[in-house]
Structure 1
Amino acid sequence: MSRELPSLNALRAFEATARLGSVSRAAAELHVTHGAISRQLRVLEEALNQPLFARQGRGVALTAIGEQLRDRVAGAFDQLRDGWAELRRDRSEAPFVLGCASSLLARWVIPRLDRLERDLPMLTLHLSPEEDPLAPQRAEPDAALALAAPPWPAGWQVHPLAPERIGPVVSPRYAGLARLQRQGEAALLDEALLHTSSRPQAWPAWAHASGLPATSLRYGQGFTRLFYLLEAAVAGLGVAIAPSHLVQDDLDAGRLLAPWGFQQTDASWILATPRRRNDGRIEALVAWLRRELTPA
């Protein structure tokens, strides 16, 4: 005897009709027509060569074989519903691991964390500092927030958020500020520029976009992380180069100035997710990040 199952759509139609006692109510619950439910029921009745329902007033009543099928099918669908609800509950309550470079984490994510928690209460965020969150990890995050340029690493789905713009920033306390402002951005060619080994291409990219010879740039104190570089600039130690979003709070508070503006690069703010990861919270996070990164 064949052990092949009938159509699951037919079984769903039967289960709803048996539970609700009405073809019309089953059709409404499943968002299909009365005729579609009737056709699915006929599929089962023809396969069993017996009727499953008998007309009873405005509704239907189960036959003896219909009751036997209901007992088996109803239990199976209850288990499916309970299992699905448990999976969704476990997933929505599980921490959402966000990989992020420490400088982005310290200077952009953490200052907005209270707003993120308020706007996305379903997102139990766990922050994972990773200097290269897109690099292969033993423990893969649910998503990675990064400033990066194509080509994108294999195995990630990339959600672009906003273009990156970089520019020189300096503290109002810096001793050489008045001279730099008088002479314009070309004066930076004679300046011992603060820089970071994590973004060695930043100063040359800005110089090229500004029409200045990158080979003429002079470098002063270097730092291993962008976060340290920007703290040095806030302390008045010299001129640093920075993505606009990471210094906007300092600009608004007057801790830093950007006398020469910002230039767009070929990099972007992105949220990257493993291609096999399917998590409904990602769409909400992408929308929130885009709003936060869009100038008012």
Structure 2
Amino acid sequence: MLRDLPSLNALRAFEAAARLESMSRAGDELHVTHGAVSRQIRALEAELGLPLFQRRGRGIALTAAGQRLRDATAMSLGQLRDACHDIRRDAVRAPFVLGCPGSLLARWVIPRLERLGSDLPDLFLHLSALEEPLPHALDGFDAALLLAAPPWPKGWRVEVLAPETVGPVVSPRYGGWPSLQGKPASCLLDEPLLHTASRPQAAHDWAQAAHLSVPPPAGQGFPHLYYLLEAAVAGLGVAIVPAPLVTDELAAGRLLAPWGFVPTAAAWILAVPERLHDSRAPALAAWLRAELADEGNSPQASAPLLGPLPAGERRLR
């Protein structure tokens, strides 16, 4: 019976404080003062007859009773939230909210939106740029398209779409290109590579996959992969990049990939919150998988790691 339950507001205040381990942060999330959160929790403790938190220095910690109630409220409120989400989605043509790092969004997703809309006309897609490359929480998203390596965060259901392949690319406009032309990949061990803060391990992963002893030294850095790709096209240096993000540049000759691409331990994935069961997610995953497979079979993306190029050969064909 509902009258046997404590106040829903008190349970919400407790759940937020237990999850965030802070009365103040719980108040910020619920848009009330931390004093209001404290009063709700004191009333809840009085009704239950047991303390739910204990003070530890300036922080708080759950008692055994608090831990039991935390698990129960997290599950119950999560089920309520998901049911309301499903009801609202059924009431209107709700968008499918896809999170994606800004560089993947700009370089890969947006150029394919027209084809995606034509192939999946019932998918009302809403794109949202992710501020962090690997969000541990997918709150607010129906799915996220990512380049990532396992293990996956708890609460994710992951569709692996394609292995990640990376390789060094260079513009024919780069001043150092004549001295690199025709040499094996090991020549890059003396070449400072452009790099990005969002993929600091790219050069190491490539060197390891290419069986080189050490990664090349780091050259000029950029905050995002998108800027790194623009810098490579502008002829500022050699960059290690995922193959699907440079398909068009390779085809047009704006970038060259004379040393080919190699697979890493990472993959293109579609991450879906385990709590959601939306039939649109598998359809989107199948479309993305087919799209990446087509690009993976292209000559540019599937080229093996090469030794010295034949005399006179200047670009990947």
Band of TM-score, shorter chain: 0.5 to 0.7
| Amino acid in structure 2 at the alignment position of 1:221 | Q
- Structure 1 unaligned runs (5+)? 1-85
In the alignment, does 2:231 pair up with 1:229? Answer: no
Q: Helix, strand or coil for the counterpart of 1:283?
A: helix
Contact 2:97-2:125 within 8 A present in 1 as well = yes
C-alpha distance after superposition, 1:5-56 (max 9, x if no partner): xxxxxxxxxxxxxxxxxxxxxxxxxxxxxxxxxxxxxxxxxxxxxxxxxxxx
* Aligned pairs (5 A) from 1:208-223: 208-214=208-214, 217-223=216-222
Q: When the two structures are superposed, what TM-score results if normalisation uses the length of structure 2?
A: 0.63
The 2-side partners of 1:228 and 1:166 are apart by 17
Q: Helix, strand or coil for the counterpart of 2:277?
A: coil
How many Å apart are 1:93 and its aligned residue? 1.4
| Amino acid in structure 2 at the alignment position of 1:239 | V
Contact 1:99-1:133 within 8 A present in 2 as well = no
Q: Helix, strand or coil for the counterpart of 1:182?
A: coil
**Equivalent residue number for residue 113 of structure 1:** 113
The 2-side partners of 1:251 and 1:91 are apart by 46
The change in CA–CA distance for 1:249 and 1:174 in structure 2 (over 3 A counts) is same
The 1-side partners of 2:193 and 2:167 are apart by 12
The change in CA–CA distance for 1:101 and 1:153 in structure 2 (over 3 A counts) is same
**Equivalent residue number for residue 131 of structure 2:** 131
The change in CA–CA distance for 1:162 and 1:91 in structure 2 (over 3 A counts) is farther
The 1-side partners of 2:89 and 2:97 are apart by 17
**Equivalent residue number for residue 187 of structure 2:** 187
The 2-side partners of 1:184 and 1:152 are apart by 36
Contact 2:133-2:198 within 8 A present in 1 as well = no
**Equivalent residue number for residue 141 of structure 1:** 141
The 2-side partners of 1:274 and 1:149 are apart by 17
C-alpha distance after superposition, 1:166-195 (max 9, x if no partner): 000011111221221232212211212101
Contact 1:157-1:275 within 8 A present in 2 as well = yes
| Amino acid in structure 2 at the alignment position of 1:219 | A
* RMSD over equivalenced CA pairs, Å: 2.0
Q: Helix, strand or coil for the counterpart of 1:167?
A: strand
Contact 1:134-1:144 within 8 A present in 2 as well = no
- Could you tell me the percent identity over the aligned residues? 63
Q: Helix, strand or coil for the counterpart of 2:109?
A: helix
**Equivalent residue number for residue 293 of structure 1:** 292
How many Å apart are 1:133 and its aligned residue? 6.2
How many Å apart are 1:138 and its aligned residue? 8.1
| Amino acid in structure 2 at the alignment position of 1:124 | F
Contact 1:97-1:127 within 8 A present in 2 as well = yes
The change in CA–CA distance for 1:267 and 1:138 in structure 2 (over 3 A counts) is closer
Larger radius of gyration: 1
Contact 1:93-1:122 within 8 A present in 2 as well = no
- Structure 2 unaligned runs (5+)? 1-85, 298-317
